[in-house]
C-alpha cells in the first residue's frame, strides 16, 4: 500500500511504499483484545490482601455465654459477622499475569498498525531531531498535524550512541506535553498504540517496522 510522507511542517513530500504484511492486514479484533488484555493483566500488582478470621488479632473466647442472654450465639470476636472481624473469601496476593504466543502478539501489533494506517490516523513524517531538547520545538511540529490529542510517536531505537542521544532529546522535549507517548519500533505496546488518536512515525522507522514485523518475522 502507499503512504504519504510529510515534512515537519505538515507539507506533503512524496508517496512511499508500505509493506502490506505490516500495514495492509485486515482488522482482527479478537487478537487485539487478547494482546491488550494480556498487557493489562501483566501490569497488575496483585497485592490486595484481606485477613480471614484466623488472621485477625483477637481472643478466641466467647464474648458472652451461649444461652440465657436472648442474643444471637457468638463464637468469638473475629467472626465475619462482626465489625472488625475476618473477611469471607476476601482478596489474597496473586499473580494475574499470563503469557500469549509470540505469533499472536506480533499479529496483534501488525493488525493495530494496519488499522491506524487504514483509518488515516497514522502519519509518516520525515526523520527529524530536536537538537535543542526544548518542548516548544516539538510542540510546533505536533501542531502541524492537527489538534492536540493522545499522540503516539514511534522512535527508531538502534542502540547506537547517536540514536540514544537523539531519542533522549526528543523524549525530553515531549516530557511536558500532555498525552504524548513514545514507543520504540521493536518494543511496541498494543494498549498504548491502539488507544492513540494519532500515530506519528518517522520514515526510517517505517522501513524497520517492515523488517521487524514483516513476512520474514511471522
Do 82 and 115 lie in a common domain?
no
Q: Which is more confident, 158 or 58?
A: 58
| CATH number for the domain harbouring residue 107 | 3.40.1370.10
Do 122 and 52 lie in a common domain?
no
With vertex at residue 162, the alpha carbon angle to CA 158 and CA 165, rounded to the nearest 5 degrees, is 100
Do 79 and 155 lie in a common domain?
no
Do 51 and 85 lie in a common domain?
yes
pLDDT beyond 80 at 158: no
Do 70 and 142 lie in a common domain?
no
Do 90 and 110 lie in a common domain?
no
Do 20 and 124 lie in a common domain?
yes
pLDDT beyond 90 at 92: yes
- Note the pTM of the prediction, 2 decimals: 0.82
Residue listed under C-alpha cell 521493536: 186
Q: Give how many domains the chain has, as a whole number.
A: 2
Domain containing 73 equals 45-95
Q: How far apart are CA 32 and CA 213, in angstroms?
A: 16
Do 9 and 116 lie in a common domain?
yes
The answer to the question of residue 153 being in a domain is yes
Do 197 and 137 lie in a common domain?
yes
DSSP 189: -
Do 83 and 136 lie in a common domain?
no
In total, the chain counts a number of residues equal to 218
pLDDT given for residue 3 in this prediction? 83
pLDDT beyond 90 at 10: no
The answer to the question of residue 35 being in a domain is no
pLDDT given for residue 14 in this prediction? 87
Do 88 and 173 lie in a common domain?
no
Q: Taking Cα atoms as reference points, which of 181, 210, 41 lies closest to residue 114?
A: 210
Q: What is the dihedral of CA 191, 194, 198, 204, to 10 degrees?
A: 80
pLDDT given for residue 151 in this prediction? 92
With vertex at residue 181, the alpha carbon angle to CA 180 and CA 184, rounded to the nearest 5 degrees, is 145
pLDDT beyond 70 at 217: no
Q: Taking Cα atoms as reference points, which of 210, 204, 211 lies closest to residue 23?
A: 210
Question: Any residues with CB less than 8 A from the CB of 54 and at least 6 apart, and which?
Answer: 78, 86
Look at residues 62, 78, 95 and tell me which one is the last residue of a structural domain: 95
Round the CA-based radius of gyration of the chain to a whole number and report it: 27
Do 128 and 20 lie in a common domain?
yes
Amino acid at each position: 500500500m502507499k503512504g504519504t510522507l510529510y515534512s515537519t511542517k505538515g507539507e506533503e513530500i512524496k508517496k512511499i511504499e508500505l509493506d502490506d504484511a505490516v500495514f495492509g492486514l485486515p482488522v482482527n479484533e479478537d487478537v487485539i483484545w487478547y494482546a491488550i488484555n494480556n498487557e493489562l493483566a501483566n501490569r497488575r500488582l496483585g497485592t490486595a490482601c484481606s485477613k480471614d478470621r484466623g488472621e485477625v488479632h483477637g481472643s478466641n473466647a466467647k464474648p458472652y455465654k451461649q444461652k440465657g442472654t436472648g442474643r444471637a450465639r457468638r463464637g468469638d470476636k473475629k467472626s465475619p459477622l462482626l465489625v472488625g472481624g475476618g473477611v469471607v473469601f476476601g482478596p489474597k496476593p496473586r499473580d494475574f499475569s499470563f503469557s500469549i504466543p509470540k505469533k499472536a502478539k506480533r499479529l496483534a501489533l501488525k493488525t493495530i498498525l494496519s488499522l491506524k494506517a487504514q483509518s488515516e490516523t497514522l502519519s509518516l513524517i520525515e526523520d527529524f531531531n530536536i537538537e535543542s531538547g526544548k518542548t516548544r520545538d516539538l510542540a510546533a511540529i505536533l501542531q502541524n498535524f492537527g489538534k492536540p490529542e493522545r499522540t503516539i510517536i514511534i522512535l527508531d531505537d538502534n542502540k547506537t550512541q547517536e540514536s540514544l542521544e537523539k531519542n533522549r532529546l526528543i523524549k525530553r522535549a515531549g516530557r511536558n506535553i500532555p498525552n504524548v507517548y513514545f514507543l520504540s519500533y521493536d518494543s511496541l505496546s498494543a494498549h498504548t498504540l491502539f488507544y492513540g488518536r494519532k500515530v506519528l512515525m518517522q520514515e526510517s522507522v517505517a522501513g524497520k517496522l517492515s523488517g521487524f514485523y514483516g513476512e520474514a518475522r511471522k
